[in-house]
A and B are shown apart, each in its own frame.
Chain A
Amino acid sequence: MKDRDPIDRVIDDVARRLTAGGPPAPMRARVVERLTTDRTRAAAWIVPAIAVAALVIAIVVGRSHRGVVAPAIVTEAPAVESSPQQSASDLLAVQERAEVRRGAAAAPRAAMPGPERVAVPIDESALGALAPPPLNVPAIAVDRIEPAAPIALSPLADVAPLAIAPLDELEGDRR
């Protein structure tokens, strides 16, 4: 490399000087300190993370349990005095009003217990009275279809072969 351009030597020398010098003496201590801090910090994160995860699980489980226990029919209607003697039409009107309100409210809110919500007991006998009378439709009798007589096909008569006469010249020219 003795024949190298002197300017190349200068370039290499300058490049060497630009990256010269080792790391400062306390760097190793600082790295070790940061490693220790990093480990401690990582360990410190685990406890809150587990606590948050447990809290979330508890909330989810609690909500799902409440959903199972909740009454099947819950309305937001104001308190209604109901009794077994209540007429079927009154009961129907109350239920219709409750349905309209329930449709207006959000579905999750309807499932949550609130101060205005009242469970309306359903009288099975009243519901039975509302049921329409059973339909009495006479059975339709259909006569059996007799098998039809086989269709007899007469064979086709032979077609006489066509005789084609060659065209004369004049006719050929015209074409």
Chain B
Amino acid sequence: MYRAALAALGSGADAEDAAQEAFLLAYRRLNTFRGDASFKTWLLTIAWRQAINRRRRVARLWRLAVRSAGAGHEERSDWEGIPANGHSPEDAAMQAELYRAVRDEIRSLPAKLRDTLLLSQSGDYTYEEIGAMLKAPLGTVKWRVSAARRLVRDRLNRRGYQLGPA
């Protein structure tokens, strides 16, 4: 639940609040669980809804501005710690720059594509569970993941990042 909220909100504190709210809500509505889906899916659906509601609440311009202005330096150190697999310091710096560019492009994706990509890569949820959370069919979930990757790739190419095949 926490990780699903984190995928939606991008902030650990907000994700924790949303997860707590989801637990409370699930506890109150425990009698509405009919067993149509698994209990985990039911919980995840509630958590996702809570996270999306919270995201709508906090998506105010001034908060976004403060966050993007204040979080830059803090996150920079994380992204510079990306292992460069034995390449030169220049390569390591370039790779860190690439990771930052990819992160920015993922964050700027349309919400539906971004959410699906992040949930699928969190490693905690199956495509079926993601589909239940997003209320989307399995094929749509897979298509969104693929489309999100393609969009990020195209944008990176436009920005001059070219990676050859492995």
Residues of A participating in the B interface, judged by any CB pair closer than 8 Å: 2-19, 21-24, 27, 30-31, 34-35, 38
Residues of B participating in the A interface, judged by any CB pair closer than 8 Å: 2-3, 6-7, 10, 12, 15-16, 19-20, 23-24, 27-28, 78, 98-99, 102-103, 106, 117-123, 148-149, 152-153, 156, 161, 163-166
Given the complex of chains A and B, what is the CA–CA distance between A23 and B119 in angstroms? 16
Looking at the assembled complex, report how far the CB atom of B52 sits from the nearest CB atom of chain A, in whole angstroms.
15
Q: Which residue of A lies closest to B13 (CB)?
A: A24
Residues of B within 8 A of A7 (CB): 152-153, 156, 161, 163
Q: Which residue of B lies closest to A16 (CB)?
A: B121
Given the known A-B contacts A11-B102, A16-B121, A18-B106, are A23 and B2 also in contact in the complex, defined by CB atoms under 8 Å? yes
Given the complex of chains A and B, what is the CA–CA distance between A12 and B106 in angstroms? 10
Q: Which residue of B lies closest to A2 (CB)?
A: B166
Main secondary structure, interface of B, reads: helix
Point out the residue from B2, B27, B78, B149 that lies within 8 Å of A11, measured CB to CB: B149
Point out the residue from B24, B99, B122 that lies within 8 Å of A19, measured CB to CB: B122
Residues of A within 8 A of B148 (CB): 11
Given the complex of chains A and B, what is the CA–CA distance between A10 and B118 in angstroms? 13
The total number of A-B Cβ pairs within 8 Å is: 90
Residues of A within 8 A of B6 (CB): 19, 21
Residues of A within 8 A of B122 (CB): 15-16, 19
Q: Which residue of A lies closest to B3 (CB)?
A: A19
Looking at the assembled complex, report how far the CB atom of B133 sits from the nearest CB atom of chain A, in whole angstroms.
13
Instruction: Add 17 more A-B contacts to A10-B102, A14-B106, A21-B6 (CB < 8 A).
Output: A3-B165, A5-B163, A6-B166, A7-B152, A11-B102, A11-B148, A12-B149, A15-B118, A15-B120, A16-B121, A17-B78, A19-B6, A19-B118, A19-B121, A19-B122, A22-B2, A24-B16
Looking at the assembled complex, report how far the CB atom of A39 sits from the nearest CB atom of chain B, in whole angstroms.
9
Q: Which residue of B lies closest to A38 (CB)?
A: B24
Looking at the assembled complex, report how far the CB atom of A141 sits from the nearest CB atom of chain B, in whole angstroms.
83
Residues of A within 8 A of B24 (CB): 31, 34-35, 38
Residues of B within 8 A of A14 (CB): 99, 102-103, 106
Looking at the assembled complex, report how far the CB atom of B26 sits from the nearest CB atom of chain A, in whole angstroms.
10
Looking at the assembled complex, report how far the CB atom of A129 sits from the nearest CB atom of chain B, in whole angstroms.
74
- Whether the Cβ atoms of B163 and A10 lie closer than 8 Å is yes
Given the complex of chains A and B, what is the CA–CA distance between A8 and B148 in angstroms? 10
- Whether the Cβ atoms of B121 and A27 lie closer than 8 Å is no
- Whether the Cβ atoms of A27 and B166 lie closer than 8 Å is no
- Whether the Cβ atoms of B12 and A27 lie closer than 8 Å is no
Residues of A within 8 A of B149 (CB): 8, 11-12
**Chain A to chain B: the 4 pairs with minimum beta-carbon distance, closest first:** A15-B121, A23-B2, A19-B122, A14-B102
